[in-house]
Chain A
């Protein structure tokens, strides 16, 4: 599946300033791992030492937070958009 991943400003230095990166993946977890093909630093920024997604990183498929879906196992359809959004805004 071809997936568009929207990159937040904080991480754009890892992909030549691009706001969107295209990867091949079948699930959200695969899409995030595939970002390492662009820059191997992506995983260090997104995951903590224990391999969990950092607690201030939110991931969306379309408009939905993956915690309301199947988390990193959420399956993707061709052409869907995955967004990485910092969790500390608002309130």
Chain B
């Protein structure tokens, strides 16, 4: 990887060699990957990307690891669809949906895991692990199975059944921890220090997080190498939002964009777990952790690791952060499905509802080209939409008359 130089502390700038490490020894700040931008500029072009596979590996020159020998699991390069009916309902102009439900395990986490796994193999790691709110668990378990690695997946014990079953099926060791995600995370940080495992979002985190940038790369390529005016991104740890912003900036740094992007970044949180939205609303410098209580379990991180960077990204780009109720989340899921035929999970409901809120507040404007990130599939959180509207429209006898009685509007001459 000639274009990757070192790991560098995002707080104090201290440099470290490339290794499975994630925090600065001097200030505890998060480590990030430092690239040789000049080398990248010389290698990558719109043409070289277009000639690549229809997956995240088409951006190999912008990623911190070489594609694995087996890159046949098609991760990424998901559809960016124009969402005119949704835009119309929200009183907006040009809205696009990045449909990341279309990944191997139906969430954006396949992107970050693909990068983490490739790096783990490079480091000679034999066991892949993670602390997860569900989607990452799916992605780690499936990727480890395919690569023939052992996996340990740590989740809060109260996770949705679907997310547990769709992890266990891959043969992962599923460790349900009696606590919330932040408890799981703390436990894993301690276990990571004692095992020679690759924890996707702990000691592989500097590399793993880079995978999220591919959402920005694809968005821009799919818009004909332009950028959106405004994006709305769900916020759990804050890493995805931070990396989407960085991804747009990287495209300019390596010469793939003609103009410096001015993408406004807005965040989406559930009211029952909104530490970053609260700090934003209060104009605070400190993010206070919370105990999550929301149906959006995939976003239920009360102590967000990248909260400060997410807050900076939103403030610097003059975006906003909404905090929406559980009812708004369910309505958001329904609205997206009804208008665009895309069934997202609760995090998508949070994002759609936040877009609605931000549009009403005038933060997202009708003259902006907006991209909404739908990061996981609705079948993972089916329970959230149980109840009114989730059953049949009518139950009828198997006769034409019964149908006619139930749906008179379908009958001629009435």
Contact = CB atoms under 8 A, between A and B. Distances in A.
B79 interface: no
Interface in B101-115: none
Contacts of A91: 201, 236-239, 301, 304-306
Contacts of B190: 6, 83, 85
Chain B at the A interface: SS class:
loop
Given A10-B28, A56-B27, A88 B305 contact: yes
Nearest to B301: A91
Chain A at the B interface: SS class:
mixed
Interface residues of B, number: 40
Given A10-B23, A58-B303, A83-B190, A90 B185 contact: yes
Contact of B131 (A19, A87, A89): A89
Nearest to B203: A89
B307 to A, nearest CB: 9
B192 A89 contact: yes
A65 to B, nearest CB: 6
Contacts of B131: 89-90
A45 B28 contact: yes
11 contacts: A6-B190, A10-B23, A56-B11, A58-B303, A85-B189, A87-B305, A88-B28, A90-B201, A90-B305, A91-B237, A91-B306
Interface string A70-90: 000000000000010111111
A56 B303 contact: no
Contact of A67 (B181, B289, B306): B289
Contacts of A83: 186, 190
B56 interface: no
Interface string B16-40: 0000001111111110000000000
A60 B186 contact: yes
A55 B289 CA distance: 12
A13 B26 CA distance: 11
Contacts, number: 93
Q: Which of A54, A57, A89 has the most CB of B within 10 A?
A: A89
A90 B202 contact: yes
Nearest to B308: A55
Interface string A1-25: 0000010111101000001000000
A85 to B, nearest CB: 5
B182 interface: yes
A86 B306 CA distance: 12
Interface residues of A, number: 27
Query: Closest 9 CB pairs between A and B?
Result: A91-B237, A90-B185, A88-B30, A56-B28, A86-B23, A89-B202, A9-B193, A89-B189, A10-B25
A86 B189 contact: yes
Contact of B179 (A58, A63, A86): A63
B188 A87 contact: no
A89 B188 contact: yes
A52 to B, nearest CB: 9
Contacts of B236: 91
B205 interface: yes
B245 to A, nearest CB: 16
A91 B205 CA distance: 9
Interface string B183-197: 101101110110000
B205 A88 contact: yes
A65 B180 CA distance: 13
Nearest to A45: B26
B201 A89 contact: yes
Nearest to B25: A10
A88 B185 CA distance: 10
Q: Which of A6, A8, A54, A90 has the most CB of B within 10 A?
A: A90
